[in-house]
Amino acid sequence: MSQPSPAPTAHPPTDAHDAVLLVNLGTPEAPTPDAVRRYLLEFLSDRRVVSLPPLLWQPILRGAVLPLRCKRVAALYADIWMEGGSPLLVYTRGLAERVAERLPGLRVAHAMRYGTPSLVRELERLKAEGARRVLVLPLYPQYSTTTTASVDDVAGRAALPVRVVQDYHVDAGWVEAVAASIRAAWQVQPRGERLLFSFHGIPQRVVDAGDPYQAQCRASTVAVARALGLPDDGIMLTFQSRFGREKWLQPYTDATMRALGESGVKRIDVVCPGFAVDCLETLEEIALQNAELFREHGGETLRYIPCLNADPGHADALAALVARELQQWTPDTH
């Protein structure tokens, strides 16, 4: 979307030594097998992501998973690569720039939990440049021990005070931004027969152990549906991107695509509000793979509604969230 002039600024904090770091998951530096291997090795070696003991998991990862996946994944990245890098990096960078425009006088940067720009290095750089404390905003609207907690792990080792925003899954500004993006799509073309919310999945055992992610995904879905004036039975919630053979959160997005097509549904709209910006999982897995799967089973059109990316409404919502978090950060709170 084109970017109009910045909206009125949020109420920025008064301490010019504060900094804000928007953190996304990560991405390879290039759409090549070697770059993908470096990225996946770091990502899949995190015990928050794969909890198997390293002595058991590392031989499997290095001897089987990476050799089998890197070439194929690199080809998928090549299909969506942009001039400035991977979509996740390009859009995260753009979002940080838009948020900075709304918070003048405050340093706003971006980092990746895995890959570059490194979260560890960015925290070190901000400290070296004079930041006295850093508010870290993980670009995961819904909290999970597999994502946000890993950012917490790094932040807890920083050499300066760091506060991590835990989630914003029902934040009013964010909910309205998602709803507005769906309304805008419906103004261009009539809505489909179904509106499907697809979130990244996690293993069912993680939720069974107390992770709030599934409940927060449901709460986000309901909040957006209500902002759109839709009844609860007018929407569908599914989970995508499962890996391995164990049971993950259900219903699965791909299985739902098959079932919808076979049931006679011809047109569906899909939105992925668990992703702050578009990436491989949305642009390739949903907009290409699942669209093809839907057609193969009798459907006609899957319209993917893009992530919020650097949309002004998204930047407005996150800038307001940042301002509130900084105002609430007193010397006695973390």
Residue ranges for the known binding site for Fe(2+) are 200, 281
**Which residues participate in the annotated binding site?**
200, 281
Pick from 111, 94, 109: which is nearest to 27 by CA? Answer: 111
- Rg of the Cα trace of the chain? 20
How many Å apart are CA 96 and CA 100, to the nearest integer?
A: 6
How many Å apart are CA 86 and CA 82, to the nearest integer?
A: 6
Q: Which residue has the tokens 């990096």?
A: 89
Which string of DSSP letters, residue by residue, matches 43-108?
A: HHT-TTT--S-HHHHHHHIIIIIHHHHHHHHHHHHHHH-BTTB-HHHHHHHHHHHHHHHTSTTSEE
Q: Which residue has the tokens 């293993």?
A: 203
For residue 195, give the H/E element and its range: strand 194-200
Pick from 141, 99, 77: which is nearest to 276 by CA? Answer: 141
Cβ 144 vs Cβ 171: under 8 Å: no
